Amino acid sequence: MVDQQIIQSRIKQRQRDHAVKEIVAKGSYSVIAGVLALVALRPVMVTHLLSRADAYSAFGLYDESKRQCDKALLLDSDNSQAWYNLARIYKTRGDLDMASGAYLRAIESDAHNIPARFELGLLYVEDDQHQQAIPHFDQVRRLRSNKTTQRLSQDFPYHRASLDMLLICYEKVRDPAKAEFTREELRVFYPHHRPSVPEGARPKS
């Protein structure tokens, strides 16, 4: 009788152990499924946050825009667009050191982020650091002629503007050979264009 009770007790214990294992397994599968869902949804969430950031910026609500960018970077710390948006917010506020750092993070995350490169070059020009600006404008000039970047909005003529800025920079650093080469490139690509400084990009006298 005692042996039978022991056997029944062991059977019940095994049944309980099996039930616990099933619960744990189901819980693990749920956790894994949840993680996979978050990974799959992360790009969508980041895109949504950046869209909200753009909307807030459009209405001058820069604090709210910055919060959305910060949230996006918590999900994707290497998101070039989020860093670019932050850089523009800092620049609007007049915090040029933070803006410069954010622009650098944007191009580190995506070397083909043409607006970030161009605007970082403008920051250097505005600070009379023409030599530091040259590599960024030159990279914009090179990238803009690359077919892989043709998806970029045509609203702003980055290639032509980068040549204009390179001409200014080469003249400022007294490099007449490269300045003349840039003039010739402008004549070839834009025969009716007179080199000028894009609005908001005029260097200090």
Full pLDDT tens readout for the chain, 205 residues = 555 656 666 666 666 666 556 665 565 555 565 445 555 678 889 999 999 999 999 999 999 999 999 999 999 999 999 999 999 999 999 999 999 999 999 999 999 999 999 999 999 999 999 999 999 999 999 986 654 444 455 578 999 999 999 999 999 999 999 999 999 999 999 988 876 654 444 444 3
- Residue 127 sits in the same domain as residue 171: yes
- Does residue 102 fall inside a structural domain? no
- Residue 71 sits in the same domain as residue 122: no
- pTM for the complete prediction? 0.73
- Does residue 22 fall inside a structural domain? yes
Which residues are within 8 A (CB) of 94 and not within 5 positions of it... i.e. 6 or more apart? none
Counting the structural domains of the chain, the total is 2
In angstroms, the CA 61 to CA 65 distance is 6
- Residue 74 sits in the same domain as residue 141: no
- Residue 9 sits in the same domain as residue 70: yes
In angstroms, the CA 125 to CA 104 distance is 15
Burial group, residue 53, by CB count within 10 angstroms (0-12, 13-18, 19+): buried
Domain residue limits at 2: 1-79
- Residue 53 sits in the same domain as residue 133: no
- Residue 129 sits in the same domain as residue 192: yes
- Does residue 190 fall inside a structural domain? yes
- Residue 117 sits in the same domain as residue 190: yes
- Does residue 94 fall inside a structural domain? no
- Residue 122 sits in the same domain as residue 173: yes
- Residue 120 sits in the same domain as residue 51: no
- Residue 191 sits in the same domain as residue 120: yes
Continuous segment of H or E residues that includes residue 195:
none
